[in-house]
Structure 1
Amino acid sequence: MKRRTAREKALQALFQIDISSTEPSAAIEHVLEGERSDDYLSKLVNGVIEHLDEIDQLIKAHLEKWSLERLATVDRNLLRIAVFELKYEHDEVPEKVVLDEAIEIAKLYGDDQSSKFINGVLSKVKQHLF
């Protein structure tokens, strides 16, 4: 599975977990739709869940006039994936790739303003981390 596909499937799994408190393994299995399991998909979903408090604190610190709870579920979980990659996978995935992927996925799954919003928040997070 390509990493872009793994990110999209991770977004779908985290969305499901966020709105219905599904177990991570069940959410991953559901989004795979019978496909073979993917290590990067599992790493993203389980990594976000494992570090959720730290990731959410980083996001909250860089939101202006928004609360994490008020964000669209897609935007919130896309930010979580990207912040996880920036903070915990920076040796494996360049920051530019993380931002570009998040922006492109936001264009597919978010609303008209999602990609700009995601870009703004992630740029601030990136400056804070690096």
Structure 2
Amino acid sequence: MQISQLLRRKGREVATIDATETVRAALALLAEKGIGALVVSSDGRTVEGIVSERDVARGLHEHGAGLLAEPVSEVMTSQVHTCPPTASVHDLAQTMTDHRVRHVPVVEDGGLVGIVSIGDVVKARLDELEDERRALVDYIQTP
């Protein structure tokens, strides 16, 4: 399965935040949307970084509560792993495992077109396995 197929199922909405917004604003947006990461983008199209709950937790541990008033740029990850819509779910799962990332922005022609979480990858893989199981059962049961 390609990432483009996964995005058709889950949608292409991506929550973004400007790097100059506060960490407190990022946390509020994460909570409001019920998500684990935001793409840092000044225009909603370019990927300048990513900020996750993990980034904030580590930042709070290092810097204390004063971090909440600091800009997102203080805690964001600048080296972002991205993928094209043509990538396979299997390859993306490998990338996420190898680099220990849970969210990967999907970029096409230099612009943000979606985001995939590890949960999306697991669900897609489980769906594939269920389809394979059904096909095998049908094959075995067909006279």
> When the two structures are superposed, what TM-score results if normalisation uses the length of structure 2?
0.27
> When the two structures are superposed, what TM-score results if normalisation uses the length of structure 1?
0.29
Q: Which has the higher strand share?
A: 2
Bigger Rg, which one: 2
Q: Which has the higher helix share?
A: 1
